Structure 1
């Protein structure tokens, strides 16, 4: 089988007993960076030295089928540099290849920068969306944010220290300067820090320079106050562009908080007039 194994995101004390047991007995490990994995084995005091195969963004397409075939006959442990493989890390292609071959895939749960940041952010945790890294170029980044402008779920992003100030500035420009944000830095490490404030405030703070591994958590969009009449007009505008009535009602309901069924019934009634 394939065993996706979550590794510490900073504090080695977060390594689970299951992870250590699996690594102590592993014969074959696919690692995002074999040097990082060697250091992890040493730091955890694991004497076992399994065969390490590099599996990263640049070779996963070529390696996926080969490794999935190997896993049909033996256990293959998959490690990313930190956290859970496949989550903004290599592994998805391998799992897809394994699934197509009928190879069993399981996971050893463990540390997650996404969930850790969400938990300590002070922002709503009942519904959220992980968006990975924002685009590097400002034009593409702002377009990505505009696509998320009406998203009511809490948003979680990874970001590099060098782009943090620019990304927070774009969040303030697109979502509004007052949108609540938490910047979570160096989670579980010695210099862990969580900064909370408005997008504009945190953009100003980040402009002074920030270091470390960073997760940005952003408050979802507020429900816009829209009258039923205006909502009905929005539905008709979407239908006029070719959107199915039911889909148009669902989209407007999601953006306004109004009932999709009520919008649908009023639209049908309007057609009969």
Structure 2
């Protein structure tokens, strides 16, 4: 508990939890589909070139028995790498290196193709995840957030989750990225430097890839004798109604290995 910088009459309370770390030897096999935006808007140094360097870092950390597929989209979608074991690292890296920008962004078609490949190589009791990398500019196809939400929710129920990585500065559609990541039981992260890429995709890879708890809900109760009123700062897209706390049909957030979650109340 600490003073509120913007209001001398209130206090801030910080609540945090952290998931346990899954040891490398205990990590399950991973089936990853890289869904990569190669539209014309990605033709900037801090977008596709940075994206390629970032995913090379991730590939270098995969175990030999992990599986990688690559789908690109720009105008229409295409598979540039069928499911390939990480032991064939050079084949995967070559596919990444050969990516070139051009066209408009048909995100819907790419997402459908990525989920199709993920199902082909589905690993029971493993990590099955689509990793969408984009600058957030979905301008062709199913551009309505509600339509995207329904599509991702349907695929989530199959056991294939989604993480979203935004590259570059400007043009990021934050609402869209948060919507599809949350409804895909995944996370959204922003990468604008190679150092940030290493943090997100290498140092925090366990948190990004390995889910240890699904649909986590946290309820905080205040003593009315001590607290007259309160509000949650942020988390607008994650707030639950009181009646939904024990309703298993209402989706909530997932916790990754070593992942920290914080909430601030005023």
User: Which range, TM-score by smaller chain?
Assistant: under 0.3
Q: Which has the larger radius of gyration?
A: 1
Determine which structure has the larger strand proportion and give its number: 2
Determine which structure has the larger helix proportion and give its number: 1
